[in-house]
Homo-oligomer: A and B are copies of this chain.
Amino acid sequence: MRDVAILGIGLNEKWGELWDKSLRDIFVEAALHALDDAAVDHIDSMYVGCMTGGMFVAQEHLGCLMADYLGVNPVAATRVESACSSGGAAFRQGFIEVASGVSDLVMVGGVEKMTDVSGDEATHALSAASDMEYEAYQGITFPGLYALMARAHMHQYGTTREQLAHVAVKNHRHGAMNPVAQYPFEVTLEEVLGSVLVADPLHILDCSPITDGAAAAVLCPLEMARKIAKKPVVRVSASAQASGTLALHSRKDLAWLESTVRAAEQAYKMAGKGPKDLHVAEVHDCFTIAEIMVLEALGLVERGKGGQAAESGMTALGGRIPVNTSGGLKSKGHPVGATGVAQIVEIAIQLRGEAGARQVKGARVGLTQNMGGTGGSSVVHILEAC
């Protein structure tokens, strides 16, 4: 297998409710930025991460569509889906294709267009990431599922309502420095605690929003990147993915993300790194409780201690390991198929030293963790500055 590097990255200009742009428009915008950044005039192959173009805009066949509108056919173009970890899973396929030697220049994009439907329809579409027959058809939606996980975590470890809120406060503080973010403003602890209740204990400011957005990256062999790169080269030193039970009721422990544990174990082994070697991380904070549980699964804190991380400042800019410097899903937005690729983009920005006000000084090693559903699948990547 060949070593793999990131040659270019891109996002569409602004995430949010983009009613004047279609699915293909926002994808192509991000992809063109990535091609410009990579300074290449062609690609050999393409992956598109998207959760449900079908349920959001009645459009499947997304590899073909995006290759066509990006003007790169006849290259092979494949859509990858793994619910909210579709972007991360797509990136992993790009990694494997470059590592294998099948292709040199591979574009990986992620996209979701979520705001063309009503809130009820969006909630239904997102439910397709859970076990439709045993969970969603019984009436539970994602805030309810994560509320169950939060209650279990509070019961087992004494995690507090305030600790959940601290995650939102921190990520909005980071996101306020990110011009792409959907909600680039700070929120106070009181505002989070006093916001509308969605599914006890989760309030609206514990939840990531519905977002239109896209992200893209261009991958190539590390050796090639060293020769042609115009920007600092970022090495993909680990790419790992694992699955767990789809439905919450099948889990031994509602407060433990087994698939993230497994993917992280593989990733650390592949990169020859451990949690202590990381300088920055982007993790899947679809709800505040998710970030808390992910920190534990990644081994960044002890099991049960995730609630203390944001509260203590450990995961804030300036802390031991800044988490979600982009603002995370919470403030930057969560176009589900794009999120995993956007996490990679943020870590690459950090490792290239281009993060401006939100730069983590001296960041050389970063991690991304992208999760589908309530953790039924997880994808972990480790990136390093070269």
Residue positions of A touching B, CB distance < 8 A: 1, 22, 24, 51-55, 57-65, 67-68, 72-83, 89, 92-93, 96-97, 99-102, 124-125, 127-133, 136, 240-247, 250, 258-259, 262, 372-373, 376-377
Contact of A61 among B22, B80, B93, B376 (CB under 8 A): B376
B377 touching A54, Cβ below 8 Å: no
Q: How far is the CB of A65 from chain B (nearest CB, A)?
A: 5
Alpha-carbon distance between A372 and B76 when the two chains are bound, in angstroms: 12
Residues of chain B contacted by A73 (CB below 8 angstroms): 242-245, 259
Residues of chain B contacted by A243 (CB below 8 angstroms): 63-64, 67-68, 72-77
Residues of chain B contacted by A247 (CB below 8 angstroms): 68
Residues of chain B contacted by A372 (CB below 8 angstroms): 61, 64
Query: Can you list 12 pairs linking A and B with CB atoms under 8 Å apart?
Result: A52-B60, A55-B55, A61-B81, A61-B129, A62-B81, A65-B246, A75-B242, A78-B241, A80-B81, A93-B96, A96-B100, A97-B100
Alpha-carbon distance between A100 and B96 when the two chains are bound, in angstroms: 7
Alpha-carbon distance between A79 and B78 when the two chains are bound, in angstroms: 11
B59 touching A128, Cβ below 8 Å: yes
B61 touching A78, Cβ below 8 Å: no
Give how many copies assemble into the complex.
Answer: 2
Interface centre among A22, A73, A240, A372 (most CB of B within 10 A): A73
Interface centre among A63, A100, A131 (most CB of B within 10 A): A63
Residues of chain B contacted by A57 (CB below 8 angstroms): 132
Residues of chain B contacted by A74 (CB below 8 angstroms): 242-244, 258-259, 262
Residues of chain B contacted by A81 (CB below 8 angstroms): 60-63, 78-81
Alpha-carbon distance between A178 and B243 when the two chains are bound, in angstroms: 36
Q: How far is the CB of A240 from chain B (nearest CB, A)?
A: 8
Residues of chain B contacted by A100 (CB below 8 angstroms): 1, 96-97, 99-102
The 7 A-B pairs with the shortest beta carbon distances in the complex, nearest first, are A100-B100, A76-B241, A61-B83, A64-B376, A60-B128, A54-B54, A73-B243
